[in-house]
A and B are shown apart, each in its own frame.
Chain A
């Protein structure tokens, strides 16, 4: 089994005159929680979008389990086992919680040209749906329209949808954003639980959470990788402190 699950070398991406990423590198080890941190505008979202397949890099190489996926479309990456959640909750607002989850489950399989049978009754959905809803604590709310959920519940649904299909690599884009302390605790517990079965890339601003959860940290400043290492090393790194953390 390849230790290095996701390997990124020299990723560059420009939009016109603006270079969002230059020489972005990251190595994510299997079974770890790897945090990607950096100040606002550092290029974290652009980097993440290139990893999930929504943007194609100008130059650079992305390898997943040894396979070159640099130019692979996002839906194909999903089938390889890469999942992501979005910073701004991206769910199907007008559908019920149940439908949202069902849709995530059947999306993985790729053969959905079934015109006749009710979408919520496919065998795959029936077996997985209950568990999926339970794992994010939304079973009771399954008939509620997604738009009526609270912010925290929407985030739970968001992550839950990314989880269906048991991904190998889960990329979380600022999952703590907008959450109160209670929500943060719950989400942190969830991440620790998930770590047992999958690898996690955590893009986050909340430094307490990052230092508590991460096995490895990569620091992104002005579009490129500034430093990489264990949390204590990063905390002590002079350049990182100057550029980002400030002296504390």
Chain B
């Protein structure tokens, strides 16, 4: 069992740090960190959503980035059509309003997840991995072909989404905006995993055959899990489009799926909070190591192999203290 007290302490400290970060950064004069950590928060959100699939559902999906991309593109496309004052297909008006664009992004990525999940979940194991990858690639090619929205080069957005109470173009307010979504989503996932649904989905990942004999139609549960995860990724994508003020097919490239998996691994599979640590580590490494050498990946690769083979429990496990070798 994970030492619950220690885990709670780590989470509490982490939360306080994240809340205070912009304040500290401003005091020290390193405002750059606010923007950097906004990105980290967004990737954390995507990674946590992937952890639901990977760590709790036991579903190794290599196509998660596709939903991030869909979310981003919905925001971008709505923005473009509002800016150009030209309705989509002549009927649907665009929008720069965050309260319209972001929910739309989540809904449409959920829809994509429903369709792709419904097809992919007919398979298992290696087939499932390859099929999710293939579908994501399909969406990638589709977005490359969308010349209207920049095709391969992508599309710059004139500004971030607007909304009533907050000014999202202010980096500080945007940071707390992202933090709000991250906390809300993590809280939701935490409750989900401990709920009845969570118990069943954990059972699916541990022993699906047994669960079917006990009376559970595992397909339905896996599909719901897949859709929830996809929606989370779509939300992250919508925020990412805002953060970068730019959308491109790169957002749905399968290497992003791989990177998200690495974040989940580094932080700790099936820990909910772990992926946040994982994405902090990964993106900081990318930034810091990137300053020393542009070839930092040549070290990252073997490092990843090493971690997988010898330390599969991730860093959250190390911090929160593992008494058992399982969990």
Chain A residues with CB under 8 Å of chain B are 52-54, 73-75, 78-79, 83-84, 86, 90-95, 99, 102-104, 106-110, 112-120, 122, 145, 147, 161-162, 165
Contacts and interface: CB of A to CB of B under 8 A. Distances in A.
A112 B213 contact: no
B213 A117 contact: no
A75 B217 CA distance: 6
B141 interface: no
B210 interface: yes
A92 B206 contact: yes
Contact of A119 (B194, B216, B221): B194
Looking at chain B's contact residues, is the secondary structure mostly helix, strand, loop, or mixed? helix
Interface in B202-222: 202-203, 206-207, 209-218, 221
Find the residue from B198, B203, B206, B326 having the highest chain A CB count within 10 A.
B203
A92 B203 contact: yes
26 contacts: A53-B213, A54-B212, A74-B213, A78-B212, A78-B215, A83-B213, A83-B214, A90-B207, A92-B207, A103-B214, A104-B214, A107-B215, A109-B215, A112-B199, A112-B200, A112-B221, A113-B221, A114-B196, A115-B198, A119-B194, A119-B200, A122-B196, A145-B324, A147-B326, A165-B214, A165-B215
B197 interface: yes
B213 A99 contact: no
Contacts of B211: 103, 107
B121 to A, nearest CB: 15
Nearest to B206: A92
Find the residue from A93, A113, A115, A118 having the highest chain B CB count within 10 A.
A115
Find the residue from B196, B203, B206, B217 having the highest chain A CB count within 10 A.
B196
Given A94-B326, A113-B224, A115-B192, A52 B213 contact: yes
A83 to B, nearest CB: 8
B195 interface: yes
Interface residues of B, number: 28
Interface of B: 191-192, 194-200, 202-203, 206-207, 209-218, 221, 224, 324, 326-327
A119 B215 contact: no
B215 A90 contact: no
A92 to B, nearest CB: 5
A118 B194 contact: yes
B326 A106 contact: no
A112 B326 contact: no
